[in-house]
Amino acid sequence: MSLALSPAERDALEQWLTHLAALKGRAANTVAAYRRDVTGFLAFLAHHHGGPMGLGALVALDQSDLRAWMAHERGRGVSTRSLARALSAVKTFLRWLSDRDGGEPTAILSARTPKYRRKLPRPLAEDAARAMLSTVGDDAREDWIAARDTAVVTLLYGCGLRISEALGLTGAAATLPDTLRIRGKGGKERLVPVLPAARTAVAAYVALCPFDLAPADALFRGARGGPLSPRLIARAMEGARTRLGLPATATPHAMRHSFATHLLSAGGDLRAIQELLGHASLSTTQAYTAVDAARLMEVYDAAHPRA
């Protein structure tokens, strides 16, 4: 598809992506998604207009070009959510291009983002989360592996870590401090308090682990000593949720959702929860208020006396 781009377009795209990665700190997966989205948009324009467009023409596109592209994407079966993400990438690229080269991409920047229903997080109930912590290691072949799986899932629920963040810890964290410094998406750092339960679970794993946990090496190890794969934690949780009768949504990421939702239910401040989770935008964290409200309505519907 990149063959449909002119050399100037390819050069501008590469400069923009480098700008995102180096100066804006965007994660590699985000940069890759932006590359796909903008390349697809530029390739469509080349086909739509019979050849690649000049950079000046790009920032002067009108609504008809945009509507044609969006109709094309919908015709390919692209979801509303994915189309909204692609439009955001296109707007960001054209805004950068207009700032660099001059121009006024008003038509594109004023385009409305397709509306979609944001999927609510699917947390576990508090008793289900505790049950998961106590049973996730039951299928393990060895005691140290059981302790490992319990320690990882405890970090997800007790500290609100992403699975990548938990597995990114090194042997330097073998004795957990009172506060962890976590590097999350886009290289953003945040401080996360460590609960005694998490410290105890990690200490139990460290005491049983048969491998040398050097400070610069991975803290959590696979059976052969290499860095632990997130798939193994997902598999351990699959077995536990089957025994507990929990739904398929009881995944490692659901433990992070549960951390946030249970904090909010206990009266936690939304802005503080945003900081603990490492969300760049408060609107992302606000999804948990909808979860909390939905659960409140479930309780109301189940308990309210009806005439």
The residues annotated with a catalytic role in the active site are: 162, 185, 253, 256, 279, 288
Residue type, 84: A
**Site of tokens 């077995």:** 239
Q: Is 95 exposed, middle or buried (0-12, 13-18, 19+ CB in 10 A)?
A: middle
